[in-house]
Amino acid sequence: MKKTAAENIRTWSLQQIEQHFEARGEKKFRARQLYDWIWQKNALSFADMTNLSKEMRQHLGEQFVLPALTVNATQYSEDGTIKSRFITWDGHAVEGVLIPTEKRLTACVSSQIGCSLSCKFCATGYMDRKRNLQFDEIVDEVVLLNKEALQQHQKKISNIVFMGMGEPLLNYKQVLLAIDKITSPDALGMSARRITVSTAGVAKGIRQLGDDNVRFKLALSLHAANDQKRNEIMPINESNQIRTLVEALNYFYKKTGNEITFEYILFDQFNDSLQDAEELVKIYRQVPADLVNIIEYNPIDKARFRKPSEAKTTAFMEYLSQKRVNARLRKSRGKDIDAACGQLANKG
């Protein structure tokens, strides 16, 4: 799709829109009406903005665009998980997932088209990173998944996790702008405490979150509790080793007091021994983490890893429990539609 020369008005602040309207001799409150159409009513066309004059709508249509994501495909899992493939204005595909549980309706959103980190167990890691998503595109993911939640469950999403495609802290500015819109009373008005940003371990970005005094929760995708193993499966660890990440997490907590979670996928005969569990305990005790999510591995075509036996998983969990680690086994959701953790790759 050829990019239009018209400007994306969704990147404009309310103040910029007010200045534009006033320069045309329009009342200031008209800018607020336009802003509400964009961010509260999620209008996809200027023609829909019926409380603006026909002349103004025509002018807006000539000068600006509303390049929203569109839903290209939707898949429904037997367990209720819903995966949506979205298409951007320039023809790229990106995926988001709606995960229903008894207490929550969670939207799992992407921050990049593809990924540059090449984690060996993750389908997205085998894709090239095409580009970062812009903040309005990330907001679109939430809006469209929320629409699906209302249609399927007659209620809004309750939580958002940045655990889809891409590394959020390598798209730092746009992710924070998106969260600002998602939490703004002028837009979606969600609580920041219901948002979790997951990182593969960008220590500099974790510290920056602390300096920016963000209000959302943070999750670290650890997946191995020593540098040798983590280097093997997550190349980012070579420049962001565990000790550096522990220091960054403690800095983040000192600055914000926000909840920290560790994510740890179990791989058969790689990181699932009791020695691995003990190494995980040691890291857990160095950080004021609220929780360790132990995650079932979801096999992908290109990776050699396998899911451990139920007995080994149980032994691992029992060891953590004996050491008074607040750990939870997270069952995979949406495996049958490639929507589970580590499976997003624009398939099917």
Domain ranges of the chain: 7-65, 70-337
pLDDT score, position 340 = 52
Q: Could you report the per-residue pLDDT of 263-320, keeping only the tens digit for each?
A: 999 999 999 999 999 999 999 999 999 999 999 888 877 778 999 999 999 999 999 9
User: Which fold does the domain 7-65 belong to in CATH?
Assistant: DNA polymerase; domain 1 (1.10.150)
Using 70 as the pLDDT threshold, list the residues of the chain that sit under it.
1-5, 332-348
pLDDT score, position 3 = 41
pLDDT score, position 335 = 64
pLDDT score, position 4 = 46
pLDDT score, position 338 = 63
Question: From the centroid of its chain, how far is CA 284?
Answer: 23
Angle between helices 203-211 and 242-256 (to 10 degrees): 10
Residue 180, C-beta contacts closer than 8 angstroms, at least 6 positions apart:
135
Among 18, 26, 95, 167, the active-site one is: 95
Spell out where the chain has E strands: 7-8, 64-65, 70-76, 82-87, 93-100, 105-108, 112-113, 131-132, 159-162, 195-199, 217-221, 260-265, 291-295, 327-330
- CA trace torsion 101, 79, 118, 307 (10° rounding): 100
CA angle 249, 251, 254 (to 5 degrees): 110
pLDDT score, position 241 = 98
Among 108, 115, 122, 341, the active-site one is: 341
95 is catalytic: yes
User: Which fold does the domain 70-337 belong to in CATH?
Assistant: TIM Barrel (3.20.20)
* Mean predicted lDDT score pLDDT of the chain: 92
